[in-house]
A and B are shown apart, each in its own frame.
Chain A
Amino acid sequence: MSFAPVTVFVPKDAAALSVGADDVGAALLNEAQKHNFEINLVRNGSRGLLWLEPLVEVDTPNGRMAYGPVTPEDVSGLFEADFLSGGAHALSHGKTDDIPYLANQERVTFARCGLIDPLDLKAYEAHGGLVGLRKALSLGPEEIVVAVKSSGLRGRGGAGFPTGIKWETARTASADQKYICCNADEGDSGTFADRMLMEGDPFALLEGMVIAGRAVGADTGYIYIRSEYPHAIQSMRAAIAIWEGANLLGDDIAGSGQAFHMHMRVGAGAYICGEESSMLDSLEGKRGQVRAKPPIPAISGLFGKPTIVNNVLSLAAVPFILSRGADAYKTYGQGESRGTQPFQLAGDIARGGLVEKAFGVTLSELVNDFGGGTRSGHLVRTAQVGGPLGAYIPETGFDVSMDYESLADAGAMLGHGGVVVFNDTVDMAQQARFAMEFCEIESCGKCTPCRIGSVRGKETLDKIIAGEDLKGNLKVLNDLCILMTDASLCAMGGLTPMPVKSALKHFPDDFNSARQPVE
Chain B
Amino acid sequence: MPELNQNPLVVDACKGFGNRPENLIEILHVVQNCAGHLSDEDLRSIADALNLTRAEVHGVVSFYHDFRRKRPGKTIIKICMAEACQAVGCKSIKDHAEETLSTAMGETSVNGDVTLEPIYCLGNCALGPAVMVDGALHGRVTAERFDALVLEASS
B-contacting residues of A (Cβ < 8 Å)?
14-15, 17-19, 50-51, 53, 186-192, 195, 227-231, 265-271, 282-289, 303, 344-349, 352-353, 375-376, 384, 388, 418, 420-423, 426, 431, 434, 438, 441-442, 444
Residue of A nearest to B120 (CB): A271
Docked complex Cα distance between A345 and B140 (Å): 15
**Pairwise interchain contact B140-A19, C-beta atoms closer than 8 A:** yes
Are A266 and B29 in touch, CB under 8 angstroms?
A: yes
The answer to whether A347 and B66 touch (CB under 8 A), given A285-B23, A423-B87, is: no
Complex-state Cα separation, A230 to B78, whole angstroms: 14
A346's contact among B20, B60, B120, B128, by CB below 8 Å, is which? Answer: B128
Question: Are A347 and B64 in contact (CB-based, < 8 A)?
Answer: no
Q: Collect the chain A residues with CB atoms within 8 Å of residue B122's CB.
A: 228
B124 touches A268 (CB 8 A): no
Q: Are B29 and A268 in contact (CB under 8 A)?
A: yes
Residues on B close to A: CB < 8 A?
A: 20-26, 28-29, 59-60, 63-67, 80, 82-88, 119-128, 130, 132, 135-140
| A344 x B137 contact (CB < 8 A) | no
* A/B interface sample: 28 pairs, CB < 8 A: A15-B123, A15-B139, A18-B130, A19-B140, A50-B127, A187-B121, A189-B82, A189-B84, A190-B121, A191-B125, A192-B126, A228-B123, A229-B123, A231-B137, A265-B26, A267-B25, A267-B64, A268-B29, A270-B65, A283-B22, A289-B63, A345-B126, A346-B125, A347-B88, A349-B126, A375-B88, A388-B82, A418-B125
Check B66 against A269 for contact (C-beta < 8 Å): yes
A271 and B130 alpha carbons, distance in the complex (Å): 18
Please give, as numbers and ranges, the residues of chain B lying within 8 Å of A188 by CB-CB distance: 121
Q: CB-CB < 8 A to A227: which residues of B?
A: 29, 66
> Which of A15, A187, A287, A303 sits near B127, CB closer than 8 Å?
A15
- Tell me how far the C-beta of B15 lies from the nearest C-beta in chain A, rounded to whole angstroms: 16
Contact A266 B26 (CB under 8 A): yes
- Nearest to B62 among chain A residues (CB) is A287
Contact between A268 and B138 (Cβ–Cβ < 8 Å)? no
* A266-B29, A344-B126, A349-B126 as given contacts; A288 in contact with B84, CB under 8 Å: no
B35 to chain A minimum Cβ distance, whole angstroms, is 16
Q: Are B123 and A285 in contact (CB under 8 A)?
A: no
With beta carbons under 8 angstroms apart, the residue of A19, A303, A375 that contacts B139 is: A19
CB <8 Å contact, A347 and B121: no
Partner pick for B126 among A187, A346, A384, A442, CB 8 A cutoff:
A346
A495 nearest CB across to chain B (Å):
14
Residues of A contacting B123 with CB < 8 Å?
Answer: 14-15, 186, 191-192, 195, 228-229
Which among A195, A268, A303, A444 is the interface contact of B66 at CB below 8 angstroms?
A268
A515 to B114, CA, bound (A): 39
A269, B64: Cβ atoms under 8 Å? yes
A346 touches B84 (CB 8 A): yes
A415 → B minimal CB distance (Å): 12
**Contact, CB under 8 Å: B125 / A352:** yes
Q: Which residue of B lies closest to A390 (CB)?
A: B83
Report whether A285 and B60 are in contact in the complex, using a CB–CB cutoff of 8 Å.
yes
Q: B64's contact among A14, A189, A288, A431, by CB below 8 Å, is which? A: A288
CB distance from A242 to the nearest CB of B (A): 22
Most buried by A among B23, B83, B128, B139: B83
Task: Give complex CA distance A285, B60 in Å.
Answer: 8
For the complex, give the distance between the alpha carbons of A285 and B23 in Å: 5
**Cα of A33 to Cα of B49 in the assembled complex, Å:** 55
Within 8 Å CB of B125, what residues of A?
A: 189-192, 344, 346-347, 352, 418, 420
Residues B23 and A268 in contact, CB atoms below 8 Å apart: no
The CA of A229 and the CA of B119, in the complex, are separated in Å by: 12
Tell me the complex Cα distance, A386–B61, Å: 30
Distance in angstroms from A109 CB to nearest chain B CB is 17
Minimum CB–CB distance from B134 to chain A (whole Å) comes to 11
Q: Known contacts A189-B83, A189-B121; is A265 also within 8 Å of B65 by CB?
A: no
CB of B121 within 8 A of CB of A18, answer: no
Q: A190-B84, A270-B63, A423-B87 are in contact. Are A15 and B120 (CB under 8 A)?
A: no
Please, which residue of chain A has its CB at the minimum distance from the CB of B78? A228
CB nearest to B87 among chain A residues: A347
**Contact in complex: B137, A287 (CB < 8 Å):** no
Contacts of A189 in B (CB 8 A): 80, 82-85, 120-121, 125
What are the residues of chain A within 8 A of B84 when measuring CB–CB?
A: 189-190, 346-347, 418, 420
Cα(A442)–Cα(B81), bound, Å: 13
Partner among A50, A344, A353, A420 whose Cβ is within 8 Å of the Cβ of B83: A420
On whether A421 and B87 interact (CB within 8 A), knowing A19-B127, A187-B121, the answer reads yes
- Return chain A residues, CB-CB under 8 Å to B138: 18-19
Task: Using A19-B140, A285-B22, A388-B83 as known contacts, say yes or no to A352 and B64 having CB atoms under 8 A apart.
Answer: no
Q: Which among A268, A289, A426, A434 has the greatest number of chain B C-beta atoms within 10 A?
A: A268
What residues on B are CB-neighbors of A442 within 8 Å? Answer: 120
A18-B136 Cα distance, complex, nearest whole Å: 8
**In whole Å, how far is B43's beta carbon from the nearest beta carbon of chain A?**
14
| B121 engages A285 (CB within 8 Å) | no
Name the A residues within 8 Å of B66 (CB-CB).
227, 267-269
In whole Å, how far is A266's beta carbon from the nearest beta carbon of chain B?
6
Q: Which residues from chain B contact A268 at a C-beta distance below 8 Å? A: 25, 28-29, 64-67
In the complex formed, the residue of B with least CB distance to A384 is: B83
- Residue in contact with A192 in the complex, picked from B63, B64, B124, CB distance below 8 Å: B124
